[in-house]
Structures are given as structure tokens and as C-alpha cells.
Structure 1
């Protein structure tokens, strides 16, 4: 999903008279950065608001100066204590300094301002941030230094200089990687007898795609969507695997197989069905698989074949570059583009792997390498996270493992050590912990998963919590990724540290609360109120929760994605009613349609954690639009009792009949006069409504459940329409029937659960 609106926004701002220096005497001039950032899809200025920065040096960004023709560049000025410490020039609307800044023990406050380098334009309003010694130093050399590193590395650029053929492996390497090489030999051997892939002209054309799913008529099936990967990916897999085995084993049959498969891939027409415009994911895969094979077999390919393969890579990469550099580098101004953000990474890697050998590589390199390193945190703040959902976070981990290892080896820049990446890894372990019952939030939350990509990402992150995750999650790494990686893997030398049992990711608005993250039979509650709203792959699920216990899901999310933005998806799967959240008047919920879905958001307004008690508060008011004037959910976890208390307070200008929705894949049955009970295998939860004006009501929907799954839906429904209301629900995990009392007081109500107390606001 991409919006190219830079010139339109600038024209509107100028047309409305929002030009600095031209305001009337009675009106203060609108600062140009604030005016240009009025569109929420535009890059926002940062860092700001005295926020402590996790990365040193921080990345600076601002919206473009909204005039045409554009200014030739910008001047950035950074100060501390009233003294200018640095003045930088850049041709684009971001800047990543190459050297760390001073961070005093008590913190150092900085301010920054920027202006276009054209005459008679004022500086922007100074914005502030703070650096503490705890900020992780992440320095990225300038491009000339990176180029020199790459050329000095020699071929292969993706394989470590310490890469060893199998005959020279140590016993320790055999213990870690012996199973992987055996698996790869079996895989390639089986492929040697498989028929060749269909010729390019025999690949059936398919409609254009967006976000990997079709946007065509209902008669188009997901099988058509899968056509291209199913035809092409086995060839690419065999190509990479054979090339790697030749480097490891030296057997000429693997070289012959790699050459045959490489010739097939290079023969695919980059302007036909496998083009970037037809299916960007497939063309990226062809591009990088050929690239990896060329790199591993550089000295084993004759000059004509190497030239032919590099020409195929160049043609496909030029299409990626044309897209990302289009509209004057559209992602610089409009960064919220899921496919574009991923394509940036592919372009950066290809540039790094071909600079010095492909004439266009210098152009790609200057355009993509430093911007990609700078912009990875587009889906969260710089502390890490991934708002579209844990399924797409899992996919991002897969892309990262494919791209970041070769990029690190070629450039010396370890993206796994970027603070965003460390925080992203922490998010993965909090929301897909060992033994997780499933994924949460956003599109494809219903899909199955394994831990191989997550294990790979954690194993390459030299961080204590990542070391714990890499050792704890089950499964094996993909053999190709493991065997091309450095030895030993970075996390293997780190002493593991167990992550906390509760965590907040503020810029994506996600909270986790676990009984014991080390126990695969734990109880886990996941809560979301996101500043990104329902944009991209996110849903209208602000202030929603998901509950797991004993390795199974008790309160889940309903529906499934048949294809991206299908009628069923927009009418049911993405709606608030399909989540464990509050709706009104028979399922009316948060606003999820139209271009404003990024602004129909939520936010976490409170969080605390201790050994006995966790607390989170979310405000989803804005997401409901004008029909609701306040929608606040508070969640307490009384860990010693394994009980959650959920309070919702809603106000509206008109009377509504409200619903507290719940969903499961097992029956939701009445439990007394004011409760519900869910039993899934040996795990259970009893939900008790402590407000007397609700009735448990089951309901059905005219949309199918995902295949082979029966979903049930119920709600605590208010008995009468009111303007202001409260839900107060106790989630007793294990149905242990604790003693629960609520006592009013002058400063609120005291709720006791087996003697453990929390204070509820009136």
C-alpha cells in the first residue's frame, strides 16, 4: 500500500497560505517542518520532546521542504548547552552521523534544527533529545569507507573470510552444523533427479498483486497467487544450495547443477511475468539468489556466463531502483510502505555485493545503503518493534536473516546490533515466546508457524536475552542460512539472561504479561493499543487482548485472511467485533476504512510491572471516531493468583448498547448468572462480569471460520442503552474460583482477589 502525495501535500500547504514569513500580523507563522508534517503519512520530525535515545548517534529525520522545485539539500545543526557541536549538509531529508556523540553520566541534552540550503528560509524550531551512557553506540562509516571495505574483502563477499570447506571442519563445527550439511546434501541430491522448471514462456500470467495477495475479482483464487513462487522458488533454492555445496564439498556435480539452475533463473524475462511490476517478491528472490550464486561461484563461472547472470541481476535491480527512487525517492517522504521498506533492504544488499563489478552499483549504493541502515525502524520507534503484527514480524525476521548476514560480511555493518534490531528481537520473544499457542494481532495471526527463522535471528544477535531465546526455542535453522553464516554464531558466546515476564513496546502500543516466560505452559496475556491504528496489515483492535494458557489459546481473534483486503477481511476479519474488544449497537467498532486509518489509533497511557502485579492502560478513543468520546481499558495481572482484571470505561454523546466481545475455538458456555467458561483441553478460564447490568449472549456471523476450525463468539452485553458505562471483568485462569470482593471508598474501589488488592478508579 503506497501513497505518493508529496507534491500534493506541498501544493495544499502553499495554497492554504501556510508559508513561513507570509502570515498576517495577528497570526503566528507556521513553522515549515510542522506544516509539512501535518499529513500523518509523511515522515515525522525526530528525535524530539527530550526523548532518551536508544541509539548513539541518533538518526535525524524531517519532512521535505514543500516547494517545487525541491531545494538542493538541507543544513542540519546540532547544539548542546547553547554551543553548536556540528553542522552537516545532506541532499536528503534525513541524516545519520557517522560518529557517536557525548553522553554524560546524568545525560546530555541536545537540540537540533534544519533548513533547506536556499536563501531566505528560516531554521526550523529547535527540537530536543537526550543521550545517556546506556544508549548503544552504533556507528556507520561514510560511504567511501564502506566501499573500500567491500572491495578489500574480495570474493566471496557473502562468505566469511574464515569460511572452511567441509574437509577442514573441526569437531565443534560438526556438532553444530553436521546435521545441516547432511540435510542439504539430501535436498540437493533429490533435486538432481527432478524435472527442470517450466520454460519462462510457459509460466501462466497472473493479475497484478499488492502486499503479496491479489486485488482482483472474487473468482481469482489463492492458488493463482501461489503460481509464481511455486514455479520459480524450487529452482532458486536448488541454485543456492548447489552453489553452497560446491564451495563446501568441491564435488563437480554440484557445480554443474548450480550452473544449470543459474542459467534457468537468468533466462527468466525480467520484463514479463516475473517482472518487478508483476510480482515484486518473486523478482527480488530471483535477483538475490542469482547474486548469492554468482558471489559463491565467482571464480568458477566462465566470463560469458558471469556477465550474463550479472546482466539479469542488473535488469531486475534497475526495476527496484526505479520504483524506490521514483517520485524523487518517495520512501524518504512517505515511509509507510511495507513492500517498499523490504525492497530497500534487497537493493542495499545487491548494491553492496556488486559495487566495483556492475556499473550501476555505485548509483544503487549511494541511494540505498545508508538510507536502509537508517530507516529500518519505520514500523516502530528506534527502540524496536513491529506494529503490523507478529506474523509479519516473523516474516521480517526471515528477510533479515537472508539479507543482514551477507550485508554484514561485505560492509562490516552489523544490523543485528542496531538498537532497533535488539528491541525487535525482544518483541519476538515476548509475543512469540517458547511454546506460544499462536501469533497475535494483525493479518495472518491465524497462520501456523515454526521457530526456525526466529531462532536464526536470535542466534545472530549478540545480546543476552537473544542468547536465551536462541537456546530455548525449538526447531532447526534453515541449512542454507546456517551453513553460509559466520562461525561461531554471535549469540553462542553470550551468557543468556532470561527476559522479563512483562514488557511494554510504547511506539507500537503492545504489552505482554506472562506468568513465567521460561515455562512453556505459562499463562500469557497480550494487549494492544497502537498509535499506528489499523494501517497496513493492522486491524481495528485497539484495546484488544489475547489470552493463552497451558500452550493453548483461550481467548483468540476471529476470522482469517483469504486474501489481502478481501470483502470478508474488511467486513469481518479486520473489524473490532472480531477481537476481544468493546463494540456497540450490535458490533459497531473502530473505524478501519479509508485513508485515515493511520490516524484512527490508540495509545498505551500507563504501564508498570512487579513480581506480583502488572498493569497496563490503553486509550482507544480516537479509533472509534466521533461516536465515542472516551474508551479506556485498564488491565491488571495478579500474578500470584493467575488472575487478570479488565476494566473498560466508555462515554459517548449518545446512548448506545455496548458489547464486551470474546472469541474462542472451543465452546464459550454460561458459568452462573454473570459469567462465561472456556475449556480448551486441560486449560480453562472463567470470566466473571462484576457489573450487574450485563448478560452473556452468544452470537454467530455470516463469515466462515478458517478451514478445519470452529469459532465461537459471545459477549457480555449491556442490558440498556446508555451514554456512559463500565465493564469490569475478572479472568480466572484455571477456574480456581478465588474469593473476589469490591469495596467502595472515597478514592476509588478496592478489589480483592484472595486478599491481593488493586485500586479501581470510580
Structure 2
């Protein structure tokens, strides 16, 4: 039988799946393939129990508008075959096979006809439907503290009754993006969203004509802004997301209080702005083929869900946009993680991504009774902040971080509480309660205030989800491997911040893509309430000099340079993805935990003569760390061993010491195959605009440089010490045979590490 064109997937493309190597984690399988042609590519999909696709053993699904699909029913356990074709062709794809195990979670997606059978077209539709609205009105009349309504009204409604209308943002000078102005613009637009959404919701719930009138004033004002101007998607997408969301909430909740002329004005602006976003996501970014556009993926939940729901029955395209979004979340989401719940872009971007996603999925769940939270990723993703963005740590997570070196903030906690409500996991609730207890002035911090409103989020959550009892993490995994993103977290006494020791390392298949950095085989260390080995720098904004010249490049991370050259961190997305690492092995035993990771590929573009860079990390007796670095080169070269701290280091010979406020760290190079290293430190930030350092505390950067050789073996002993305590680890070496045997002793306990010699 003739087969159709099946282009080979590139490094950034979706893959042909499932196949014999696919480990299914949910039922039905998710089907993906490369598009057959550039347009008009509607498909039929066949799933069969027989390889010849006999009619009585085969299910056919059509038409499928894009190159991905989730069936509307789970499959019985067993072996299956699948293929696809264009709807108007008899030429089929190659036949692929897969196996469905027993007892997988059923996460099928209703087909396009089924989804809307019980959907009401009455308003409001966002969050509360008409019946729920009447019940909520009665509840707050009886008790104004119901779902913390009184706090929402005081903090999120009253301020907007008297505030002047927000002026439409002005263009950038010479239309050139300026970080400070960009930040102010999105905060202004976020305030506009607060005003429209909160006044509209409160006015309708309270049946208060004064509030409704003020809400309409804000809504009509925003609807008159230029849809092609400074708040359009192409000019400033962050502003666009907020303004179109404001229009959706205002249009939906004030629908019965708008004249036909007012509805037409708002609907026109809402439609055009939604169209801008949808066109970019589907036709330009094509996230169904190349799924790594962070903002485009986020706009599905922040824009296409609320706006499409608000416009249903008013615009023919609204249902198409919503169907695309639902099918994406059912099939391709998330491009940044997998079954372990990891998030390759890091803790802060987990926070941002989940915040908008949660809001969107909650709207879908309430309006359409489609529950995406049953998918395995959502059942596990609360583990990621718990282990990798721990509530009591600072500067101890990878990727772009915009919280100026503070502990994870209240929005991260609100997110993880959501997953406590979804899963019943008390560890997540514990995290929330810990953060809430310390982050008491979160509302006015720019990285919170410009993005979300806590009283509104809290009110919705308390209405929609059950209360979960907190459980302290007294028995968590001592070493947690997120295989999906290549992160490994070591923990000791997570439940006691004053005793907590955490080391986080990564070697990720995502490389330096998107909000990830050129930091494969890097590590971070936080102990006894103190950040000791830190994530250096400050994320002021994408493409700032700090971001381009310091944060993303390897020089700001705790890994290696080869002859002062790091991993690829440029602007080529393909090379960013290729600059990847791999976790090779993770071990957890009674007396030690261990990881072995390989970052060789990350230097392929920049240091082509690097043949191997493997790093091994031992956490011994939950007390000290030993790092073994193995570097092979095809010509002689030197290795630069990097480490960053908030404190100037005391350096003596092969020893460096960090003296913190609550803890100290002693570092010793106890073996180097090429001889002693040369240790130096500075507090400079190379090629960074001094103005971008104003919000950043002093930092110190250690560079330990080897002599030149084509083989390097470096062993580093790191001993965190509680302030005021006495502690050391003694060591000696035996290298009589072809190996190097290191013996380390603390309080009578001796641990052996063996490595091969460098020849």
C-alpha cells in the first residue's frame, strides 16, 4: 500500500508516537505525528487490534484537524496498531504498534460533538454559572466571610471604585523595548484587569448598581483602546494577555447590563484581540508542531480559554479556538515535563506557567466538566516545587528567577495548594502554609502584583476545592530524580529549616532552551537556613545585559569552563536544545546518596575538542558532599571549576571557605590529576550594565583553574557547617594500583571513593 509523506521529526518537533518504545502512563494513548503538508491537512486515524486493520477490530476517528489526537474512550489492555491518513486520501502512514498495560488512569477527552452537549450559553460562564451564582449570593448574604469574600471585597474591589481610569500605555521611545517601561506597562494592564474583573464580579454578586456602573465605565474605556496599538499581541504580548482577559471577564459578567451598542463595542475588541493571539499560537508559532514557545503555550490558558468561553455563540471561531486548546492540553501538554511532574524552565517559571494554567483548567472544569487534573503530570507536578524550589531556600533553583533572591513566594504556594486540593496530598498543603506564614506582604511585590491577585485566587479556590490537612515532610525521599527534566534533589530534614540540607543538580535534555540556562552538571547548595552555593545574578528581564551576558552563560553557574569557554547559550533555539546533558545514574543507600551526570553534549558547539565531562556527586551520611569531575579532551586544555556565593571567600592554597550568617561551607580540592589548582575570586559581573545591578546584593565568584592536560580528574570535598559548630572531614589517598582510592572520615565513619587515573 502506498504511504503518505512522513517527514522526519527535527530536534524541536513533536515525535511520532506511540510506538513499541513508548511507556504509556495514561489511557487512551496520545497520538502525535508530523504534518503531512503545510495547509489543509485534516486527518483520519485508525486504531486496531489487528495489523491488517480488519473492519470489526478497528476504530476510525475523523476528521482530525491537526497532527495530534486524544481518543474519547480508554482502550482495553493489550497490543494495538495505528496509522493515519489525510481525510481525502487512501494512502496511509506507516503502521506503528503500542502496548496498553492494565490499570492506567482513564484520561480520555470527549470528542468535539460530546463536549458541548451540556454546556449552557447563559452568562456568566467564567467561574460561576447562573445557578452557582445565585447560591453564592445567598451564601455571602448569610456570612460575608464565606470563601473570604470580605477580604476580596476590601482589597480587590474597593480600591477600583475611586481610582482614575488607566490611560492607554504609550509606545516605547522609538518603539524600542525598554525593560523598565515594559515592566510598568504590564503592571498597568494588570491593574486594568483587576479593575474590570473584580468590579464586574462584585457588582453582579452584590447586585450593586454603583459597582456595576463603575465596572462598565472601566470596561468601555478599555474596549476603546487601539486593538493594533501598544497593547496588541505583537507589540507587547504581556499587555495583550491582560487586556483581552479583562474584556472577557467584563463581557461575560456584565453581559445583562450592557446595551446592544456596548456589547458590540466590547465584543469587537475582545474578538480581534483573541484572534491576534490565536493566529500567533496556531498559525505562526505552530505549537502543535514545535511546542517550545513558552508565551504561546501560556496564552492558551490566559487568553484562549476565558475568551473563547466568553465568545461562544457570538463568534464562529471561538469554538475552534477552544477545541484546539482543549486538545492541546489533552495531548501535547506539557512540553516542559512529563510523568514525574518536572518543569524544565525552573521553579519561577513553574510558578508562572501553573498559575495561568490552573486558572484556565478550573474554568474548563467548571464550565464543561472536563477535568484535566486527572492526567499523571498534574497528579505529580506538586513534587517539583516541594523538592526543587523548596519553601525555606533562597537562590537554590535553576532557570530564570525574578524574585530577587527571596524564598519561593506566595503564588508558588497558591499553586501547590491547588494540587493539594486536586490530589489530597498533605505535603503540598504544608508547603502552602509554611510560605503563607512568612510571605505576609506579598501583594505589593512587583513580581506578584503585576501578575495575579491573591484575594481573588483565594476566594475561587475556597469555593471550588476541599480543605486538605497539612502533612510535614518528615519522611520524604532523600534523593529525588525528575527523569523527565534531568533534575536531582538531595534533602536532609526538609521539615526543619534550621537543620535542612539541600543540594540540587541538573543535567537536562532541554539544554539551554527557553528560560533554561547553560548550566548542565551545575549544582546549588542550601544548608541550615543559608544559601551557600547560589544561583548567581538577577533576572531583570529577558534580553537584558544581565540575562544575555551573565545569567544564561555558563560563567554564572557552578559547573566547568574548558579553557574559559562554557556551554552554548546563544540565540539559536536548535543549538540551545542540542546543548543538553543527561543524568546517567542515581543511587540512594543508607550511608550515601549519589548521582552521575554527563554534560559533554552541552559543549559540542563551543568546545569541540571536549570528549567527556562527567560529574559525580556523593552526599555522605547526610553530612558532607564529594564531587568528582572527569574531563577528557582531544588536546591539552585547562579546566575552570566555578562556584558562586553571597559572601567573599577565604582562600588558602587548595581550600576556600564561605562564612555565612547561619552556616559556613568549607571546600577543599583533595585531588587533581594535573596538580594543584590556582584559586581566584572576584565580585564583578562581566559585560553587565551597572544600572541592572542596583537591586542585586554583592556576590563572589570563585574560579579554580587547573594546569593544562588532555585528562583531568578533580575531587572536591564540600562540608556545610552550622554556625558556631565544630566539624571537619579528614581524608587520605591510596593510589598504588591503577585507581585512586580516597578515604574520608567524619566522627569515626569512613567512606571510600574510587576513581580511575587520568592516563
TM-score (norm 2): 0.85
Q: How far is the alpha carbon of 1:388 from its aligned partner?
A: 1.7
Q: 2:413 aligns with which of 455, 461, 468?
A: 455
User: 2:680 is matched with which residue?
Assistant: 697
Residue 393 of structure 2 aligns to a residue whose secondary structure is coil
Which stretch shifts more, 692-701 or 137-146? Answer: 692-701
Q: How far is the alpha carbon of 1:515 from its aligned partner?
A: 1.0
Q: 1:571 aligns with which of 549, 553, 567?
A: 549
**Given the alignment of the two structures, is residue 331 of structure 1 paired with residue 287 of structure 2, yes or no?**
yes
- Alpha-carbon separation, structure 1, partners of 2:739 and 2:79: 38
Q: 2:629 aligns with which of 639, 645, 648?
A: 648
Distance 1:430 1:82, change over 3 A: farther
User: 1:636 is matched with which residue?
Assistant: 618
8 Å CA contact 1:634, 1:648 repeated in 2: yes
User: 2:443 is matched with which residue?
Assistant: none
Q: How far is the alpha carbon of 1:466 from its aligned partner?
A: 3.2
Q: 2:101 aligns with which of 107, 112, 131?
A: 131
Which stretch shifts more, 683-692 or 496-505? Answer: 496-505
RMSD of aligned residue pairs (Cα, Å): 3.2
Alignment of 1:90-239 (within 5 A): 90-103=64-77, 112-116=82-86, 121=91, 123-124=93-94, 126-128=96-98, 131-133=101-103, 135-151=104-120, 155-159=124-128, 161-163=131-133, 164-165=135-136, 168-169=139-140, 177-178=147-148, 181-198=150-167, 200=168, 203-206=169-172, 216=176, 221-239=178-196
User: 1:36 is matched with which residue?
Assistant: 8
User: 1:674 is matched with which residue?
Assistant: 654
**Given the alignment of the two structures, is residue 308 of structure 1 paired with residue 269 of structure 2, yes or no?**
no
Q: How far is the alpha carbon of 1:509 from its aligned partner?
A: 0.9
- Alpha-carbon separation, structure 2, partners of 1:499 and 1:355: 46
Q: How far is the alpha carbon of 1:365 from its aligned partner?
A: 2.8
- Alpha-carbon separation, structure 2, partners of 1:373 and 1:479: 30
User: 1:45 is matched with which residue?
Assistant: 16
User: 2:296 is matched with which residue?
Assistant: 340
**Given the alignment of the two structures, is residue 484 of structure 1 paired with residue 460 of structure 2, yes or no?**
yes
- Alpha-carbon separation, structure 1, partners of 2:734 and 2:535: 33
8 Å CA contact 1:81, 1:109 repeated in 2: no
**Given the alignment of the two structures, is residue 557 of structure 1 paired with residue 535 of structure 2, yes or no?**
yes
Q: 2:484 aligns with which of 485, 499, 507?
A: 507
Residue 101 of structure 1 aligns to a residue whose secondary structure is coil
User: 1:298 is matched with which residue?
Assistant: 255
Residue 151 of structure 1 aligns to a residue whose secondary structure is coil
User: 2:444 is matched with which residue?
Assistant: none
8 Å CA contact 1:652, 1:723 repeated in 2: yes
User: 1:249 is matched with which residue?
Assistant: 206
Which stretch shifts more, 729-738 or 162-171? Answer: 162-171
- Give unmatched runs, 5+ long, in structure 1: 1-19, 22-30, 210-215
Residue 415 of structure 2 aligns to a residue whose secondary structure is helix
User: 2:27 is matched with which residue?
Assistant: 56
User: 2:215 is matched with which residue?
Assistant: 258
Distance 1:748 1:722, change over 3 A: closer
User: 1:14 is matched with which residue?
Assistant: none
User: 1:607 is matched with which residue?
Assistant: 586
Q: How far is the alpha carbon of 1:68 from its aligned partner?
A: 5.8
Residue 650 of structure 1 aligns to a residue whose secondary structure is strand
Q: 1:466 aligns with which of 428, 444, 449?
A: 428
8 Å CA contact 1:377, 1:384 repeated in 2: no
Q: How far is the alpha carbon of 1:713 from its aligned partner?
A: 0.9
Distance 1:292 1:142, change over 3 A: same
Residue 192 of structure 2 aligns to a residue whose secondary structure is helix
User: 1:3 is matched with which residue?
Assistant: none
- Alpha-carbon separation, structure 1, partners of 2:247 and 2:200: 10
Residue 378 of structure 1 aligns to a residue whose secondary structure is coil
Q: How far is the alpha carbon of 1:238 from its aligned partner?
A: 1.5
Distance 1:493 1:454, change over 3 A: same
8 Å CA contact 2:139, 2:146 repeated in 1: no
8 Å CA contact 2:395, 2:536 repeated in 1: no
Which stretch shifts more, 697-706 or 581-590? Answer: 697-706
Figure out how many residues of one structure are paired with residues of the other and give that number. 708
- Alpha-carbon separation, structure 2, partners of 1:268 and 1:405: 29
Q: How far is the alpha carbon of 1:520 from its aligned partner?
A: 2.5
Residue 460 of structure 1 aligns to a residue whose secondary structure is helix
8 Å CA contact 1:314, 1:360 repeated in 2: no
User: 1:544 is matched with which residue?
Assistant: 522
Which stretch shifts more, 700-709 or 349-358? Answer: 700-709
Q: How far is the alpha carbon of 1:614 from its aligned partner?
A: 2.1
Q: How far is the alpha carbon of 1:717 from its aligned partner?
A: 1.9
Q: How far is the alpha carbon of 1:234 from its aligned partner?
A: 1.8
1:380-437 CA distances to partner (integer Å, 9 max, x unpaired)?
2344322122221111122123322222111112233322223332212222222121
Q: How far is the alpha carbon of 1:51 from its aligned partner?
A: 4.0
8 Å CA contact 2:147, 2:462 repeated in 1: no
- Alpha-carbon separation, structure 1, partners of 2:207 and 2:476: 43
Q: How far is the alpha carbon of 1:701 from its aligned partner?
A: 4.5
Residue 420 of structure 1 aligns to a residue whose secondary structure is helix
8 Å CA contact 1:181, 1:479 repeated in 2: no
Distance 1:99 1:491, change over 3 A: farther
8 Å CA contact 2:592, 2:622 repeated in 1: no
Q: How far is the alpha carbon of 1:710 from its aligned partner?
A: 0.8
Residue 150 of structure 1 aligns to a residue whose secondary structure is coil
8 Å CA contact 2:161, 2:211 repeated in 1: no
